[in-house]
Structure 1
Amino acid sequence: MKRRLAGSAVAGLVAASLLVTACSSDADGGDDGAAAPIEGAGGAGETGEDPTPEEPAGDPTPEDDGIDRPEIRVADDLEMVFEEPETDDPVERAIILDSQRQLEAVYEVVTNHEPENESISFYTQGNALLREMGLIDIFLEERSASAGRMFYFDWGVEILDRESALVTFCRDYSEIYTKDFATGEVIEEADGEALPTRYVNRVELGDNGVWQTHEKEAEVDSPRC
């Protein structure tokens, strides 16, 4: 069962309802094609003839940048696997790594039911934060959680300016199932035939030195994955 919504001004919150059934409705950013398009995302991840934009600000060693980050602990029964980015550019790697941490921060709360955790707001702001909190509220109300294995792949970065960029990636959630948080009972089995979802996220460099996710757009059953 895949839940789909028509477009609306509150898509950032309502789209989260698509994600409750993680195995078939894409539990983290799911079917929110109804969300308003992200500015500048028309050709994200695609080669064009536009001149190369100005290199953004960023730390040259993103893996060890000295930022005091909150610890993230996703529940043991959810495995989040991230394909190694092909880029060696330090700024692009910093952007991708912070985008991965943003995803982990969301699922830390989804799998542990600890909404007071500060990691989400550390990596998420703007419309994306509203959307993620809407997703979390649904999991908490239904007392459910995601489990299984998620695979994130095909990472790409398009620099917009010194403090903003678009991040593209795909997610395979065909091994994700939904469970009752309290009992562990499987609520809905994984959909082994589920096709990947492609994401385009807009990130901005925050005052804390972190590339924070501000907007999210998703293409469910994407042929580009």
Structure 2
Amino acid sequence: MTRRSRRLFTTATAGVTAALLLGGCGGGDGDKSDSNGKIAGADTGASTSASPSASATAAESGGRPKITLPSDMTLTFEGGQTGDPVKDAVLADGAERARAEDAAITGTDPKGEGLAYYNTGKALEATLSWVAQFKKADVTITGVVRYYDRKVTLRSKTSAVLTFCGDESKGFSKNKKTHKINKTPVSKDSYVSYNTRLDKNSDGVWQTSQIISIRGAAQCQP
């Protein structure tokens, strides 16, 4: 998988470390949007279907799943209000998707209800695979990740592109058994650009369907 590491973590497991250094799952690093502004197809790296229990539970609840994060993990999102209710809804659901992924990794959403609710298609497959790597490596995440320069482009009434930057300089992995935090020095690769596509489903939820990231992108450097 190659999409968003969403933070430059290091772990004692070589496989996960390599994936993190490349960027997380969802779309190939360095992929570009095509000349028509459409997001290129994401390379998920693994075919993983959504957990039936996750999808069913979210649907049966009749509302949005409650997403919480552990006290040592904080996500901040800048620029959440544009004055346009549609764009604001895209920004809000895009933020919830990020929170849902971290909730699944940290164990506050073990069934992945948020993942199945805010992701679809290739993005869901890639995210499930990405979360599984952390579980296999027996590591979790901690610290602070900041999202900024968030911009929405509406393609239609049910399709939008959300681009943003991620500052992972204060986000790290943590060994679940020893609780040791694997801190890494800040570098240009601590900053990541994201190009995501969201599609509005029949329930009015803007689900992320594709994600492309570029680690160390010039436009996201401080």
TM-score w.r.t. length of structure 1: 0.74
**Matched residues, number:** 188
Aligned with residue 112 of structure 1, among 88, 103, 107:
107
Structure 2 match to 1:214: 209
Aligned with residue 191 of structure 1, among 162, 178, 185:
185
Structure 1 match to 2:162: 167
Task: Give the SS at the match of 2:162.
Answer: strand
Aligned with residue 32 of structure 1, among 28, 31, 45:
28
Shift in CA distance, 222/161, structure 1 to aligned 2, threshold 3 Å? same
How far apart in 2 are the matches of 1:68 and 1:39? 38
Deviation at 1:81, TM superposition (A): 0.9
Q: Match for 2:184: what amino acid?
A: A
Cα deviations across residues 43-69 of structure 1 (Å, max 9, x unaligned)?
9xxxxxxxxxxxxxxxxxxxxxxx821
Structure 2 match to 1:201: 196
Deviation at 1:202, TM superposition (A): 0.3
Shift in CA distance, 36/130, structure 1 to aligned 2, threshold 3 Å? farther
Structure 2 match to 1:224: 219
Task: Give the SS at the match of 1:120.
Answer: helix
Task: Give the SS at the match of 1:107.
Answer: helix
Question: Do the aligned residues in 2 keep the contact of 1:198 with 1:222 (CA within 8 Å)?
Answer: yes
Shift in CA distance, 72/86, structure 1 to aligned 2, threshold 3 Å? closer
Question: Do the aligned residues in 1 keep the contact of 2:4 with 2:212 (CA within 8 Å)?
Answer: no
Deviation at 1:219, TM superposition (A): 1.4
Deviation at 1:214, TM superposition (A): 0.2
Structure 1 match to 2:49: none
Structure 2 unmatched runs, 5+ = 11-19, 40-61
Cα deviations across residues 177-201 of structure 1 (Å, max 9, x unaligned)?
1111233112x21332244111010
Q: Does 2:151 align with 1:156? A: yes
Deviation at 1:16, TM superposition (A): 5.7
Question: Do the aligned residues in 2 keep the contact of 1:25 with 1:31 (CA within 8 Å)?
Answer: no
Shift in CA distance, 90/177, structure 1 to aligned 2, threshold 3 Å? same
Shift in CA distance, 118/35, structure 1 to aligned 2, threshold 3 Å? farther
TM-score w.r.t. length of structure 2: 0.75
How far apart in 2 are the matches of 1:95 and 1:87? 11
Question: Do the aligned residues in 1 keep the contact of 2:29 with 2:212 (CA within 8 Å)?
Answer: yes
Please report the RMSD computed on the Cα atoms of aligned residues, expressed in angstroms. Answer: 2.8
Question: Do the aligned residues in 2 keep the contact of 1:19 with 1:31 (CA within 8 Å)?
Answer: no
Deviation at 1:215, TM superposition (A): 0.2
Question: Do the aligned residues in 1 keep the contact of 2:194 with 2:213 (CA within 8 Å)?
Answer: yes
Question: Do the aligned residues in 1 keep the contact of 2:192 with 2:216 (CA within 8 Å)?
Answer: yes
Cα deviations across residues 57-97 of structure 1 (Å, max 9, x unaligned)?
xxxxxxxxxx8210001121111111133511110000000
Task: Give the SS at the match of 1:190.
Answer: coil
Question: Do the aligned residues in 1 keep the contact of 2:22 with 2:29 (CA within 8 Å)?
Answer: no
Structure 1 unmatched runs, 5+ = 1-13, 44-66
Structure 2 match to 1:145: 140
Q: Match for 2:187: what amino acid?
A: E
Question: Do the aligned residues in 2 keep the contact of 1:167 with 1:200 (CA within 8 Å)?
Answer: yes
How far apart in 2 are the matches of 1:146 and 1:27? 15
How far apart in 1 are the matches of 2:162 and 2:151? 6
